[in-house]
């Protein structure tokens, strides 16, 4: 089942015939990273093709468009909900004192906050290899053995990490 | 005796896992290549089983996996397929995910205990391509979790530094010349100062040479891996000449980018000693590679003083070994 944004991406690519990530982003919105993430998923599932930095509609995508399997999104309901949320935010803002520059007024300094993309999320991954029939585990990997000389390196690395941790905590070494 | 902690090098060409057993490091590897052959039912599988040829069956299609895939591809003068391209899970390869999972599972096997720490190599953000690596990292991380590990990513270049530059307090430049990417990291006492990747690498050489001489890239790969020698002088075959030219081009490209990155960080004013460079990865294997690198490096004026430039002790194992060092340190060994 496709999500609304995924369906929007497929529709956008179908409209543009061929589209770069940035073109899709302009059509659909969201961050470039998120669009790329979804596009990669859609390529893997056959909804889109990717070549020369351009996405085009894949076989599954064409079938989906022809059979109109694209999920129907209740745009009216979404508008209703966003209007409610906007109202609530606006009420909260009314109670907060804010310094607002008038149009034309010279502003000495405005702090610029960089947009931070959080990457500490967990992506649930299924073991897709379970559907494969293979003798790879029976044969096993190619094995090599090497005399270990890493104990000193492990010790030194631990020591350095410890020093950095102390420095971070504001201690002296 | 098994000691906890593992290191995995997830490369475009090989998936390699390192763990320590007593006074030995054990490396288990799988070649990341597959090739579809005609499937004649159980008969083909039996022959492959008898000959120890690795295969996968999916949706009534039979794929030969690993080194044998390369041999089959050469036989038909076609290209092998890969589940990774440019160092990350291939966005255009339909079978990429299940096959890369299968290869990782086989190379890494079960954890010694639930939650064992495993460091897996990741490329840096590419300077010359428009893609990011978050999807790749999250997918591998999620998959290793399903196997019962506590996965942590480590930059490929930094892993080389951990493996090869302990005598320099993990300060220097580690370069991995891989199949799909070249990864570079400059580190000061194990802390990366800059890291980047480039998508011109071994595969690019094979494709360019293949186009120049009218051979399949798989065949060029086989020649490059078996007999190519960068010190050879005198009469070179067409393929050898083309390989030599493209090796020069690649090395120049890498050094030019290192120079630019060093200039961006304003040289290394805090470091008084000359910086060591370690070369690693499958594309650096031909005889004479480090000599060629040094010759080209000599033509560039870098904003830092370069000391020793040398090959990693085991260029195909150093990333996995560096990742293992990080994992063992975190597991609290020694």
User: What tens digit of pLDDT does each residue of A48-105 get?
Assistant: 998 888 899 888 888 888 775 544 444 555 566 566 667 766 666 665 554 444 444 5
Residue that the structure tokens 């440019």 belong to: B86
Residue A105, pLDDT score: 52
Residue A52, pLDDT score: 83
Residue B94, pLDDT score: 80
Q: Supply the mean pLDDT for chain B.
A: 90
As for the ipTM of the complex, it is 0.82
Is B29 in Cβ contact with A133 (below 8 Å)?
Answer: no
- Mutate: best of B25, B63, B165, partner A, most A CBs <10 A: B25
For residue B80, give the 3-state DSSP assignment: coil
Is A138 in Cβ contact with B139 (below 8 Å)?
Answer: no
Q: Are A48 and A38 in contact (CB under 8 A)?
A: no
Extended strands (E) in chain B = 2-10, 14-21, 24-31, 34-37, 55-58, 61-65, 84-85, 88-89, 116-122, 149-155, 172-177, 182-188, 191-198, 275-280, 306-311
A-contacting residues of B 104-123, CB under 8 Å?
105-107
Is the per-residue pLDDT at A162 higher than 50?
yes
**B20 interface with A at CB cutoff 8 Å:** yes
Residue B122, pLDDT score: 95
Residue A101, pLDDT score: 47
Residue B334, pLDDT score: 59
pTM of the model: 0.73
Is B57 in Cβ contact with A160 (below 8 Å)?
Answer: no
Residue B87, pLDDT score: 86
Residue A88, pLDDT score: 67
Report the alpha-carbon distance of residue B191 to residue A157 in Å, rounded: 11
- Residue of chain A minimizing CA distance to B20: A148
Q: What is the pLDDT of residues A116-144, one digit of tens each?
A: 666 667 777 777 777 788 898 888 898 99
Residue A93, pLDDT score: 61
Residue that the structure tokens 């803002």 belong to: A93
**A40 interface with B at CB cutoff 8 Å:** yes
Residue A44 has its nearest CB partner, among B97, B105, B130, at B97
- Residue of chain B minimizing CA distance to A39: B91
Residue B98 has its nearest CB partner, among A21, A43, A129, at A129
Is B170 in Cβ contact with A157 (below 8 Å)?
Answer: yes
Residue A68, pLDDT score: 58
Q: What is the pLDDT of residues A84-97, one digit of tens each?
A: 667 766 666 665 55
Q: What is the pLDDT of residues B189-223, one digit of tens each?
A: 999 999 999 999 999 999 999 999 888 888 888 88
Please list the rounded mean pLDDT of every run of 10 residues in chain B (334 residues): 85 93 94 88 87 88 90 86 87 84 91 95 91 87 93 96 95 94 94 93 92 86 85 85 93 95 79 90 94 95 92 96 96 72
Is the per-residue pLDDT at A1 higher than 70?
no
Q: Which of B251, B73, B271 lies closest to B169, judged by CA?
A: B271
**A4 interface with B at CB cutoff 8 Å:** no
**A143 interface with B at CB cutoff 8 Å:** yes
Is A152 in Cβ contact with B26 (below 8 Å)?
Answer: no
Report the alpha-carbon distance of residue A148 to residue A155 in Å, rounded: 14
Q: Supply the mean pLDDT for chain A.
A: 75
Residue A173, pLDDT score: 42
């Amino acid at each position: 089942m496709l999500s609304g944004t995924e369906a929007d991406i497929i529709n956008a690519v179908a409209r543009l015939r061929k589209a770069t990530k940035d073109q899709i982003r302009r059509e659909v919105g969201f961050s470039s990273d998120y669009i790329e993430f979804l596009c990669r998923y859609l390529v893997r599932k056959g909804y889109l093709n990717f070549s020369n930095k351009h996405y085009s509609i894949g076989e599954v995508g064409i079938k989906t468009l022809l059979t109109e399997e694209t999920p129907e999104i209740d745009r009216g309901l979404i508008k209703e909900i966003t209007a409610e949320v906007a109202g609530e935010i606006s009420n909260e803002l009314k109670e907060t004192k804010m310094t607002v520059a008038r149009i034309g007024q010279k502003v000495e300094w405005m702090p610029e906050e960089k947009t931070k993309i959080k990457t500490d999320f967990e992506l649930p991954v299924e073991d897709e290899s379970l559907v494969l029939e293979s003798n790879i585990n029976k044969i096993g990997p190619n094995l090599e053995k090497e005399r270990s000389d890493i104990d000193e390196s492990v010790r030194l690395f631990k020591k350095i990490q410890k020093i950095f941790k102390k420095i971070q905590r504001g201690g002296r070494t | 005796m098994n000691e906890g902690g593992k290191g995995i090098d997830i490369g475009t060409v090989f998936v390699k896992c390192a763990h320590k057993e007593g006074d030995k490091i054990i490396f288990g590897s799988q070649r990341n290549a597959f090739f579809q052959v005609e499937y004649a039912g159980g008969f083909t599988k039996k022959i492959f089983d008898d000959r120890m040829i690795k295969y996968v069956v999916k949706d009534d299609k039979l794929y030969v996996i690993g080194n044998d895939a390369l041999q089959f591809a050469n036989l038909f003068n076609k290209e092998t397929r890969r589940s990774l391209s440019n160092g990350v899970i291939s966005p255009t390869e339909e079978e990429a995910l299940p096959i890369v999972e299968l290869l990782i599972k086989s190379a890494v096997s079960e954890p010694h205990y639930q939650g064992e720490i495993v460091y897996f190599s990741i490329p840096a953000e590419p300077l010359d391509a428009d893609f990011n690596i978050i999807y790749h990292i999250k997918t591998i991380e999620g998959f290793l979790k399903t196997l019962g590990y506590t996965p942590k990513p480590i930059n490929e270049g930094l892993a080389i530094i951990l493996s090869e530059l302990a005598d320099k307090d993990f300060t220097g430049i580690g370069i991995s010349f891989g199949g799909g990417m070249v990864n570079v990291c400059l580190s000061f006492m194990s802390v990366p100062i800059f890291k980047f990747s480039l998508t011109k690498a071994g595969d690019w050489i094979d494709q360019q040479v293949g186009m120049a001489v009218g051979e399949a890239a798989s065949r060029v790969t086989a020649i490059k891996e078996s007999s190519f020698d960068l010190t050879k002088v005198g009469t070179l075959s067409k393929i050898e000449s083309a390989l030599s030219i493209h090796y020069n081009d690649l090395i120049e490209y890498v050094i030019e980018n290192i120079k630019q990155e060093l200039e961006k960080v304003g040289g290394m004013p805090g470091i008084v000693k000359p910086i060591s460079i370690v070369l690693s990865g499958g594309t650096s294997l031909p005889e004479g590679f480090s000599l060629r690198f040094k010759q080209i490096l000599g033509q560039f004026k870098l904003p830092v003083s370069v000391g020793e430039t040398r090959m990693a002790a085991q260029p195909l194992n150093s990333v996995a070994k560096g990742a293992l060092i990080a994992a063992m340190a975190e597991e609290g060994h020694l």
